[in-house]
Amino acid sequence: MEKVLVIGDGAREHAIAWGLDKSGVKIYAFMGHLNPGIAKIVKKTGGFYRIGKITDRSEAVKVAEEASPDLIVIGPEEPLFAGVSDELRSRGFAVLGAPSRGAVVEQRKDVARYLQWKYRIPGRLIYDVFSDVAEAYAFAKAIGSVAIKPVRQAGGKGVRLVYGNAKYLEGSLDEVITKGAREAKEQLASYKDAPQLVLVEEGVWGVEYTVQVLTDGESVFPFPPVQDNPHAYELGLGPECGGMGTVSPLPFIEEEEFEEAVAAVKATVEAVYKEFGVKYVGVLSGQMMLTALGPVVIEYYSRFGDPEALNAIYLYDGDLYDLFIKTVTGKLHQAERRFKNVYTVVKAVAPVGYPLDKKTAAGRRFDVDWVLVEREGCHVFFGSAAPSERGGYETLGSRALEILAPGSTPEEAYQKAERCAAAVKGDGLYHRKDIGSPEYMREMARRAEMVRAVYKWRRQMGLSEERLVWEPGRGLIRYK
């Protein structure tokens, strides 16, 4: 029996272990905390789990040598940034996980944008990087509508969107821009592997969608597009967080728009090799937005998204272990793209206090009505939760679990997801009821049609992608 070591302890890693279990392999796990779902699969398949610091290369090697797996799958981004995949490969292990020099496209947003412009990757946005808040403010005012971000990946935190076309709010917007730039820098104070810089890029509006691909450094294997919802509260309000739910596939995204996103991700894999001389072997995801300019890249993930991984793994209608092995052995071109003909909706259940107050969000006990979940045909994947000494489970401060519901229509999947979310019983837990609802799907379709009409008209008229921006101290700058 083949053996697989899964590194990570979230719902994404629970889903990966679940998918690999269906392939009939023995599962081992290296986790930062005890994930009860992963532990159950490990016990069922006859493996073992170890708890430790998953970004520590020596600890990862020790667990890998103990398990002696045929394949290692690294789920989260931080072990990739820390070089865990590099160290394991150097010891002769087969690893599904981007090399650190490839994962930099997620770790450093400025590097990703630099590669996009240098190698003419489709979907690029005007941007610049600043250490001085006043200079960032001046550039933001020149651009108009902007996104202000920490230059390093910071768990989805620190991002500010400012749409600067409301003249009667100009004084307030000035304050928002300046405060956003300052907070974006401050967000990086605890990171030692990146400077405190702020990235300012043009702000765009439209419909977000994510395209996740496996790549062996040459071929890519794309999964169906998925839409994440990174805001904590209903209707896309509140602070950005790890993601409160997903829908996949997406009836409001056309095939050509999906293929454009795949092409941009594949071009990024090629750019990593040209720039850094390393093959990107693992998962690369493009978080896209359909805009009046067409599909643009908002940012990259050097791994499956969470919860986007749940949709991808459930929808894949094949042997997941075989697919992963083809990826790490350079045979991905042989893989057949087969997916279930269903829709999926994922709901994240989080404790009150998330994402702003981890202390308040931790220690909340809850139970799951497994009979109801099984009756509805849903699947529960544990995230930031552990078994409770008081019985049941307790939250650790982030999204406690994620529920996937399949359906023959988006509405059926949504209704199942809502019923199964109600199966989670506890004090101070919440989820977003709007994600995947009929109203939500209609609104996404309406937005998509609005921006689609504009970008298709521009292309039909042969309008140039060239944009002119007046920048203080630099004059009129052409971007193309």
Instruction: Indicate whether 417 and 321 sit together in one domain.
Output: no
pLDDT at 198: 85
Instruction: Indicate whether 288 and 346 sit together in one domain.
Output: no
Q: Kindly report, residue by residue over 318-354, the tens digit of the pLDDT.
A: 999 999 999 999 999 999 999 999 999 999 999 999 9
Instruction: Indicate whether 132 and 146 sit together in one domain.
Output: yes
pLDDT band at residue 170, thresholds of 50, 70 and 90?
very low
Q: Which domain holds residue 368?
A: 342-436
Q: What percent of the chain has pLDDT over 70?
A: 90
Instruction: Indicate whether 255 and 390 sit together in one domain.
Output: no
**Which tops the pLDDT comparison, 189 or 422?**
422
pLDDT at 259: 98
Instruction: Indicate whether 105 and 236 sit together in one domain.
Output: yes
pLDDT at 46: 98
Of 420, 436, 452, the residue at which a domain comes to its end is 436
Residue 169 has pLDDT above 60, yes or no: no
pLDDT at 23: 98
pLDDT band at residue 467, thresholds of 50, 70 and 90?
confident
Instruction: Indicate whether 409 and 376 sit together in one domain.
Output: yes
**Which tops the pLDDT comparison, 246 or 390?**
246
Which pair of tokens denotes residue 240?
């950005």
Residue 306 has pLDDT above 50, yes or no: yes
Q: Which of 22-36, 196-210, 300-314, 323-337 has the lowest mean pLDDT?
A: 196-210
Instruction: Indicate whether 115 and 248 sit together in one domain.
Output: yes
Residue 194 has pLDDT above 90, yes or no: no
For position 155, which CATH number holds? 3.30.1490.20
Instruction: Indicate whether 337 and 264 sit together in one domain.
Output: yes
What mean pLDDT, rounded, does the chain reach?
91
Residue 473 has pLDDT above 70, yes or no: no
User: From residue 132, how far is each of 4, 185, 200, 276, 388 by CA, in Å?
Assistant: 47, 10, 12, 29, 47
Residue with tokens 């040209």: 274
Residue with tokens 């990703």: 112
Instruction: Indicate whether 51 and 191 sit together in one domain.
Output: no
Of 203, 224, 248, the residue at which a domain comes to its end is 203
The pTM score is 0.93
**Which tops the pLDDT comparison, 164 or 288?**
288
Which pair of tokens denotes residue 386?
């552990």
Q: Kindly report, residue by residue over 135-157, the tens digit of the pLDDT.
A: 877 888 777 788 888 888 776 55
For position 15, which CATH number holds? 3.40.50.20
Which pair of tokens denotes residue 231?
């805001």
> Residues with Cβ < 8 Å from 145, sequence gap 6 or more?
162, 163, 164, 165, 202, 203, 204, 205
For position 463, which CATH number holds? 3.30.470.20
| Strand spans (E) along 401-456 | 401-407, 424-426, 429-430
Distance (Å, rounded) from C-alpha 246 to C-alpha 229? Answer: 6
pLDDT at 412: 98
**DSSP secondary-structure letter at 444?**
H
Instruction: Indicate whether 209 and 287 sit together in one domain.
Output: yes
pLDDT at 477: 72
Instruction: Indicate whether 227 and 331 sit together in one domain.
Output: yes
Distance (Å, rounded) from C-alpha 162 to C-alpha 179? Answer: 11
Query: Average pLDDT, stretch 172-199?
Result: 65
**Which tops the pLDDT comparison, 431 or 191?**
431
Residue 53 has pLDDT above 50, yes or no: yes
373 contacts 380 by C-beta, under 8 angstroms: yes
pLDDT at 472: 64
pLDDT at 37: 98
For position 347, which CATH number holds? 3.90.600.10
Query: Average pLDDT, stretch 26-45?
Result: 98
pLDDT band at residue 181, thresholds of 50, 70 and 90?
low
Instruction: Indicate whether 294 and 165 sit together in one domain.
Output: no
Q: Kindly report, residue by residue over 442-460, the tens digit of the pLDDT.
A: 999 999 999 999 999 999 9
Residue 422 has pLDDT above 70, yes or no: yes
Q: What is the number of domains present in the chain? A: 4
> What one-letter code names the amino acid at 312?
A
pLDDT band at residue 168, thresholds of 50, 70 and 90?
very low
Burial class from Cβ neighbours inside 10 Å (0-12, 13-18, 19+) for residue 460 reads: exposed
Query: Average pLDDT, stretch 291-303?
Result: 96
